[in-house]
A and B are shown apart, each in its own frame.
Chain A
């Protein structure tokens, strides 16, 4: 991984702060999750396995959150 110099780090922090201001912390959280997903290593099988794992974890979380919400509001 490339090293970040002082100028680069300052620019990165400024970009993050601008993004937090504009999109809110949750927007940035999603952005970072997607960025992690979109940075692939050299091994195709490992990349596909990681994507499937991330997708299934998101699905399980969505279903659990919606079911918990339904229970909470009595639907």
Chain B
């Protein structure tokens, strides 16, 4: 249920509504808007008597939310969510660009990449320290050493760091270093992990599961918000289909669908989405053309020597060209980079 307050509702009136929600054993989620406050209600097993809230002082209306996802829904919050991360923004008018290697491999590699992507126009550095590799025999990441190197690169360049957290055990450590915590595709429905993220006050980049429907994905985001962390961005990274010529099938349909259903920012990962270096730029343009709020791109100073994902990583000059192209498309849809 959603309780929408009148534009000039007093703090006391708002408190009375949240108190009433708590007294019924439910959880209130205050959602400040530009002109008025709305209060999302979660935790109710069955229906709530909507009318009993509608009659309270300062309440404009009380509504049932028709979608199974509530707090992430545009029905509950109409305005786009903008996540502020140390000077950079995810969501809002400007398209944000996250870039960096698949895995952190060495200090030289990560610092060189960070400098290059910053010079080309990226506003976030990506890089994995804990890697969920398909084979247990492949490079699994540098673990805490990788996080330290990401912090060094952040110090040198000022770029906020996006890095993946694999499990609940390492969550406090990763959160200590990261500016944005990435939940990888394979963990999209790791509900224990999602609930723990909800307790943090740290932005989350939630990747889509390889075979997750848009609805399942939004429900996964709902887990994080319901547990109290509202700073979630969604990342489309390609889905599993019968097509074998590309690594995944980048579902750009999901971008306008999500923008209609949710207020959360939508990021696109063309590197995993197509998996072919030569075509990453085309898909990045497509993503921004259909309304994505940002892109996350794999860049490596020497892709042929990369320990993971070399075939889909761009060189720094290729990345700089991609940013130029994306800036033109962003301009064409009335946005900046």
Q: Answer yes or no: do A and B interact.
A: no
